[in-house]
Amino acid sequence: MAAPVLTVSELTGIIKYLFDSNEILRQVYVRGEISNFKYHLSGHIYFVLKDEKAQIRCVMFKNKSVLLPFMPENGMRVVAFGYVTVYEKNGEYQLYVDDMEPDGIGALYLAYEKLKAKLQKEGLFDANRKKAIPFLPKNIGIITSINGAAIKDLLTVIRRRFPNVNILIAPVSVQGKQAADEICEAIKDLNRIGKLDVIIVARGGGSIEELWTFNEEKVARAIYSSRIPIISAVGHETDYTIADFVADKRAPTPSAAGEMVVPEKNQLLADIDQRKKRIIAAMCAFLNTRKQGIEYIRRSVVFRKLRSEVDNNRIQLDVLTRRLLRETMNQITVKKSALKSLMGRLDVLSPLSVLDRGYSICQTIDDLRIVKRVEEVSSGEEVKVILSNGYLLCEVRSKGKKVVRENGRV
């Protein structure tokens, strides 16, 4: 009996039915390496899983891909779970992926996601609690291995960009059982020093196992408790650790942390020079504008009228000033004449004038009383007689009273 003649669609449908009815192909785990990875605008992802001998096309729709805890990339080894069927339009069979995890580290990713969810719920990742990184720190602390490439990259970049900063290195292990405790202790020690402006926790790239120290809860909490801002610079750009989420700033690489922590000195100097020129230009423009405004006012009719009034008032002020000076001098002359007259009168009444006319003044020796009457001294008592040009010490030999005659003469 002759075999029936089938259309392409009929044959493809039969093949699809065979795939769909196979229990193994309805739920299958496939291990392989990702290649030809494409992320479509729709959110679906397309890639090929391959090993040394074969390959299979794969598709993962958006509703599944958004749930992945990691971003697949070419060269990554994964274990994909899904079902195999035929895409009838192209006549190709392919794996429709429902879930996927990195090959060999599924347990680590599960622990990673679990801890990440826990710390996020506690608020350790909140942006509003993150401390600002200073624009130009004077003192920088670095926590890393002194034997790794990370410290060399950091020092090279920082010294090239801004050689004036001080750097304090806290050497630690960055992988192994003791690494987490050493990093936590280093963070506490640098905080106790208290003079640092920022801390960089750094490590070069590596596998998830090698980077796992920075996914430990104790390291995350030590970073969160730091009073000094911390930059996490762990692994390569595609590597994300719990430390990255807790830190105040994440740098994709140690070299990027060096560029992030300090500005470039030469660029700063150039910016300062440019700003200075802009300020000078702005001030010159401002002064020119004000100068033009003043010149406009000076030439205006209102200003000329005001200036005329000012000039007139200045002339009037000169006239009044001269008049005031003249009156002041007259008053001074009058007052000087009056003062001279008073001085003459005082001179007439002065005892010194009386002495110049031949009179004298008699005083007692003990208390310098002026002797006005003969009763005020005794015979034999010494007295002081003041003359116009000196004095005499005299002894009273005898006393007598004046005799007044009828005509008023003695």
Q: Compute the distance between CA of residue 217 and CA of residue 183 in angstroms, rounded to an integer.
A: 12
Residue 114 has pLDDT above 70, yes or no: yes
Summarised one tens digit per residue, pLDDT across range 127-163 is 999 999 999 999 999 999 999 889 999 999 999 999 9
Tell me whether residue 271 is in a domain.
Answer: yes
Give yes or no: residues 148 and 254 share one domain: yes
Mean pLDDT of 370-382: 87
Tell me whether residue 332 is in a domain.
Answer: no
Domain CATH for 59: 2.40.50.140
Q: Compute the distance between CA of residue 83 and CA of residue 94 in angstroms, rounded to an integer.
A: 8
Give yes or no: residues 154 and 217 share one domain: yes
- Is the separation of the CB atoms in 200 and 256 below 8 Å? no
Give yes or no: residues 210 and 290 share one domain: no
The residues, ordered by sequence, that sit 6+ positions from 190 with a Cβ below 8 Å of its Cβ are 141, 143, 168, 170, 196, 199, 228
Tell me whether residue 238 is in a domain.
Answer: yes
- Is the separation of the CB atoms in 29 and 80 below 8 Å? yes
Helix (H) or strand (E) holding 131: none
The band of 105, judged by pLDDT with boundaries at 50, 70 and 90, is low
End of a domain among 219, 244, 263?
263
pLDDT, averaged across the chain: 88
- Is the separation of the CB atoms in 215 and 105 below 8 Å? no
- Please, is 181 exposed, middle or buried when counting C-beta atoms within 10 Å of its C-beta (0-12, 13-18, 19+)? middle
End of a domain among 54, 85, 104?
104
More confident residue, 13 or 357: 13
Residue 2 has pLDDT above 60, yes or no: yes
SS3 readout for 16-27: HHHHHCCHHHHC
Give yes or no: residues 146 and 255 share one domain: yes
Give yes or no: residues 270 and 228 share one domain: no
Tell me whether residue 1 is in a domain.
Answer: no
The residues, ordered by sequence, that sit 6+ positions from 209 with a Cβ below 8 Å of its Cβ are 105, 108
Domain count of the fold of the chain: 4
CB burial string 329-345: b at 16+ within 10 A, e below: eeeeeeeeeeeeeeeee
pLDDT value, residue 405: 56
Structural domain harbouring 388: 353-395
Mean pLDDT of 10-19: 86
Give yes or no: residues 146 and 64 share one domain: no
The residues, ordered by sequence, that sit 6+ positions from 19 with a Cβ below 8 Å of its Cβ are 25, 84, 85, 86, 93
Tell me whether residue 199 is in a domain.
Answer: yes
Summarised one tens digit per residue, pLDDT across range 311-345 is 888 888 988 999 999 999 999 999 999 898 888 77
Tell me whether residue 46 is in a domain.
Answer: yes
Give yes or no: residues 72 and 156 share one domain: no
Give yes or no: residues 212 and 248 share one domain: yes
Q: Compute the distance between CA of residue 79 and CA of residue 138 in angstroms, rounded to an integer.
A: 49
pLDDT value, residue 186: 96
Residue 403 has pLDDT above 70, yes or no: no
End of a domain among 216, 238, 263?
263
* Amino acid residing at 168: L
Residue 221 has pLDDT above 60, yes or no: yes
Structure tokens of 63?
């509703």
pLDDT value, residue 407: 56
Give yes or no: residues 272 and 257 share one domain: no
pLDDT value, residue 72: 86
Give yes or no: residues 243 and 286 share one domain: no
The band of 20, judged by pLDDT with boundaries at 50, 70 and 90, is confident
Give yes or no: residues 232 and 169 share one domain: yes
Domain CATH for 248: 3.40.50.2300
- Is the separation of the CB atoms in 182 and 172 below 8 Å? yes
- Is the separation of the CB atoms in 133 and 231 below 8 Å? yes
Residue 58 has pLDDT above 80, yes or no: yes
One DSSP character per residue, 366-391 reads: TT-PBP-SGGGS-TT-EEEEEETTEE
Smallest CA-to-CA distance from 183 within 228, 155, 147, 144 is with: 144
Among the residue ranges 41-45, 205-209, 261-265, the one predicted with the least confidence is 205-209
Give yes or no: residues 270 and 257 share one domain: no
